[in-house]
Amino acid sequence: MKRFIVVFFVLLVAFSATAFAGVMETVKAIATAPSLIIGLVTVVLLYVLKAIPNDKIQALVGKFAYGLGVAMTLGLSKFKFTAPFWQTIIEPYFVDLVDNTIGTFTKKFIEGVRSDNNG
**pLDDT (tens place) for every residue of the chain, 119 residues total:** 666 676 666 666 655 656 656 666 766 766 666 766 777 788 888 888 889 998 999 999 999 999 998 888 888 888 888 888 888 888 889 889 999 999 999 999 999 988 888 65
Residue 87 contacts residue 77 (beta carbons within 8 Å): yes
**pLDDT in the model for residue 37:** 74
Nearest 5°: CA angle at 65, between 91 and 79? Answer: 40
pTM confidence score:
0.56
Which amino acid, one-letter code, is at 109?
F
DSSP 33-51: -HHHHHHHHHHHHHHHHHH
- Locate the domains of the chain by residue range: 1-51, 53-119
CA–CA gap between residue 106 and residue 4 (Å, rounded) = 70
Question: What element of type H or E holds 96?
Answer: helix 91-98
